[in-house]
Structure 1
Amino acid sequence: MNRQQLLTAVVSVALLAAGLLVFSSLRPPEQSSIGAIAPGLAETPLQSTGLIRQVPDVPIGLFKYGGSTAFARLRSLHFTEEIARRHPDFLLLYTEPEPNRQPGTGSGMAMLIEGKLAIAQTSRPVRADEREAAKRRGFELGQIAVARDGVAFYVHPGLPLKQLSLKQLKAIYTGQVRNWQQLGGPALAITPFSMDTRDSGTAEFVQKAVLGGAPFAPSVRQARDTTTSIRLVSATAGAIGYASSATVLQQKTVRALALTPDANGPYLSPFTGNDQARIDREAIKSGRYPLAHQLYIVFREDGTDAQKAAIAYAKMLLTDEGQRFVEQAGLVSLH
């Protein structure tokens, strides 16, 4: 197989895989500076340029990446193709987790530490136990913030509720509230869905930000990934679930809820317009939306081409051109 054939195959596989997937001692995400590598993980701030083709020090080779489903729409756009056009010897291959794991931040981090990925896309910062696992293997981990996102909670479209407080969400997901009538809705059992916190960074974030670290109730049903969660909620009367707002964007089979950290409001949605038509970028970027957070590129600091590849990939995302792809994917630019 010649290089052009290899390039075509890799891009095709990456796009096909994307279509199938539709804290530690670090500073909190809201305090991280744009493009900064988190303290304790690397020493210097990341510098980026305006165009993807201008990114320097791009290694030659095939590099595997994977992780958070919050990046799924970004994978399914033309970002990987654009990288291939501008850096034809820099090939990226999206890689699914092993059969016993589900796609997400947790599985992506495990694969990164085990050397099965060069680049992990994550929806939370690196955890202390992951840093320790990396140290036992002889290297540190680096992370670079590349975008912002908001976690959207959504319900079956037939449910006549439009908003909830974080306290009410906690009551649902810890099993204290089991019927919508308890929250001013119809006499209908609540069926909550969640992803597995072992694999999903979004589930970890919800457990921390909404549940205050409390475990999900046994009554909470598990979905393989966010795409599956949307399908299950849309098919189950009284159901509720959550996902990256980029995943829920323009979904017509579920209805997103406005949220407030305080029962006195104001209630804010991560979307503007009807049917989740557009991301409310200002609400997420400013942090006014209560479940806004950052997304990261994580890599092994081992001095290999894999580290160079991850840093180059993050630099490409942080170019003005790359951040436009971020916005087109339903995420929020850091610029």
Structure 2
Amino acid sequence: MDNTNRRKFVMNEEATLLLRGLIIGKVMTIVVIGGLLWWFLRPYTLVRKNAVSSSGQSSNPTLISGSTFNSVANVPVGSYNYGGSTAWAPIRQLVDSLIQSDRPELQLRYISPIEGSPGSNSGIRMLLNGQLDFAQLSRPLTEEEYTLAKQQGFTLEQRQVGIDGIAVAVNPSLQVPGLTVEQLQQIYLGQITNWKQVGGQDLPITPFSRNPENIDSVIFPTHTDVSKQQLGSNVQYISSTTEALRQVSKTPGGIYYGSARAIVPQCSVKPLPLGNTPTEFVPSYRQPLVTPEQCPRQRNQVNTEAIKNGSYPITTNLFVIIKQNNGKEEEAGEAYANLLLSDQGQQAIKQAGFAGVR
């Protein structure tokens, strides 16, 4: 091969290599751009996927944007005080820790009351007094609380985010198939005082209760004003659910009611089914019942399906109380409620032992 042909051969090889480099470069550019598009559009894809129901139709579009904690908009930056119902403790432990991990810009600080015990009543009082930016209640707001807010120049909004059941705990040795709601009320009013009156053994009933002003779980209609004086003289008052369950486990005729999430998984007591009539008792736990001997290797789980569909007779709604004052407090309360109402938030609420609202 002469010099001329050799130069032509080398030039052709160089051209071929250059062309290959250009092609490879374009392919790599397309791959990189495609990868970036996939990454940025991934949240939208996940939201759309989660927004499609089993029937193949999209759910309410106002809920689509809140599919995950990261996709909730208008989350303020800063530290905010909150508190209230003791029934919310599992949500504060599990769900709020997940929120803090995904949205660290929203710093949540739980505040206990300086005077009195934690609860819905103290929570709304602290909100009205400016000690909390938003509150967690396990009961609806009262007309008096709405009025007090208006007198201070703002309004209150209650946003439901979950549902809790009211469970009844008795001593594991007690042999009673269940109670009607009316029987439970009569026990705490002092009208039924022996277990033989409701199909059990001849044994005095010892009802335990938190003070009425601190009660988060209500077994009487919300419009009924039941004070400490109206309850039976045999009712023994305790400071916490933990102490109440300890007393019930030591008292053969003991009984206590409270949040299903706080009672059902316990090993030392037995959750008792409730019903509107003696022929329709519904357990607060998922059957079959786990006995104390099987616990803690196994634990009873809350019957969230019955609580959500309304077949369980006593439930209470969980509310985020938002202070509507066009300020940072309102912004924080709105964001917190929206986080709990996202798909991720609702799933976390269920994992905490409550029923979601959707």
Q: Is this a same-fold pair by TM over 0.5?
A: yes
Q: Which has the higher helix share?
A: 2
> 2:307 aligned with 1:284, yes or no?
yes
Structure 2 distance, partners of 1:218, 1:115, is 37
How far apart are 1:232 and its partner, in Å?
2.0
Structure 2 distance, partners of 1:234, 1:48, is 47
Q: 1:223 aligns with which of 238, 245, 248?
A: 238
Q: Deviations over 1:220-269 (max 9, x none)?
A: 11122322222221222210001111111311111111111123x21101
How far apart are 1:57 and its partner, in Å?
0.7
Structure 2 distance, partners of 1:146, 1:178, is 37
How far apart are 1:111 and its partner, in Å?
0.7
> 2:261 aligned with 1:252, yes or no?
no
Give the 3-state SS of the residue equivalent to 1:161 in structure 2.
Answer: coil
Q: Return the letter of the residue paired with 1:269.
A: P
Q: 2:320 aligns with which of 290, 297, 306?
A: 297
Report if aligned partners of 2:302, 2:353 keep a CA contact under 8 Å in 1.
Answer: yes
How far apart are 1:196 and its partner, in Å?
2.1
Report if aligned partners of 2:127, 2:134 keep a CA contact under 8 Å in 1.
Answer: yes
Unmatched tracts of structure 1, length 5 or more: 1-44
Report if aligned partners of 1:149, 1:246 keep a CA contact under 8 Å in 2.
Answer: yes
Question: Residue 107 of structure 2 corresponds to which residue in structure 1?
Answer: 91
Question: Residue 280 of structure 2 corresponds to which residue in structure 1?
Answer: 266
> 2:154 aligned with 1:131, yes or no?
no
Segment of structure 1 superposing worse, 267-276 or 239-248: 267-276
Question: Residue 307 of structure 1 corresponds to which residue in structure 2?
Answer: 330
Unmatched tracts of structure 2, length 5 or more: 1-61, 291-298
Structure 2 distance, partners of 1:321, 1:65, is 21
Question: Residue 81 of structure 2 corresponds to which residue in structure 1?
Answer: 64
Structure of larger gyration radius: 2
Structure 1 distance, partners of 2:237, 2:65, is 39
> 2:192 aligned with 1:169, yes or no?
no
How far apart are 1:333 and its partner, in Å?
1.2
How far apart are 1:280 and its partner, in Å?
1.7
Question: Residue 20 of structure 1 corresponds to which residue in structure 2?
Answer: none
Structure 2 distance, partners of 1:208, 1:220, is 19
Q: 2:221 aligns with which of 176, 185, 208?
A: 208
Structure 1 distance, partners of 2:110, 2:264, is 22
Give the 3-state SS of the residue equivalent to 1:272 in structure 2.
Answer: coil
Structure 2 distance, partners of 1:176, 1:81, is 44
Identity across matched positions, percent:
35
Question: Residue 31 of structure 2 corresponds to which residue in structure 1?
Answer: none
What value does the CA root-mean-square deviation take over the aligned residues? 1.9
Taking structure 2 as the reference length, what is the TM-score of the superposition?
0.75
